[in-house]
Amino acid sequence: MLIKRPDDIKPSEITAEGIYRQRRHFLGTAAATTALLATGGLLLPQREVVAATDLRPLGSLTKSPFSTTEKPNSVEEITRYNNFYEFGTGKEDPAKYAHTLNTEPWSVTIAGEVEKPGRYTLEDILQPHPLEERIYRLRCVEAWSMVIPWVGFPLADLIKRFTPTSRARYVEFVTLHDPEQMPGQRRPTLDWPYVEGLRIDEAMHPLTILAVGLYGKELPKQNGAPLRLVVPWKYGFKSIKSIVAIRFTEQMPVSTWSRSNPREYGFYSNVNPEVRHPRWSQQRERRIGEFRKRETLPFNGYAEQVAHLYSGMDLKKNF
Q: Alpha helices of the chain — where are they, by DSSP H?
A: 11-14, 17-34, 75-80, 93-97, 122-126, 155-162, 200-204, 256-260, 303-306
Q: Is 319 within a domain? A: no
Which pLDDT belongs to residue 46? Answer: 61
Q: Is 1 within a domain? A: no
Read off the pTM: 0.85
- Checking if the pLDDT of 277 tops 80, the result is yes
- Checking if the pLDDT of 53 tops 90, the result is no
d(CA 230, CA 78): 14
d(CA 256, CA 245): 15
Q: Is 318 within a domain? A: no
**Phi, psi (5° rounding) for residue 189?**
-60, -40
Average pLDDT, the chain: 87
Q: Is 171 within a domain? A: yes
- Provide the residue count of the chain: 319
Strand spans (E) along the chain: 37-39, 42-44, 62-63, 107-112, 118-121, 132-140, 144-154, 170-175, 195-199, 209-214, 217-218, 228-230, 243-249, 284-287, 294-295
Q: Is 198 within a domain? A: yes
**CATH for 134:** 3.90.420.10
Which pLDDT belongs to residue 47? Answer: 61
Q: Is 112 within a domain? A: yes
pLDDT tens across 16-37, in order?
Answer: 343 333 333 333 333 333 333 3
Range of the domain at 177: 6-310
Q: How many domains, in total, are found in the chain?
A: 1
Higher local confidence (pLDDT), 160 or 54: 160
Q: Is 214 within a domain? A: yes
pLDDT tens across 171-207, in order?
Answer: 999 999 999 999 999 999 999 999 999 999 999 999 9
- Cis? peptide before 105, omega within 30° of 0: yes
Give the pairing of strands 243-249 and 228-230. unpaired
d(CA 31, CA 11): 14
Which pLDDT belongs to residue 138? Answer: 97
- Checking if the pLDDT of 10 tops 50, the result is no
Q: Is 105 within a domain? A: yes
- Checking if the pLDDT of 39 tops 70, the result is no
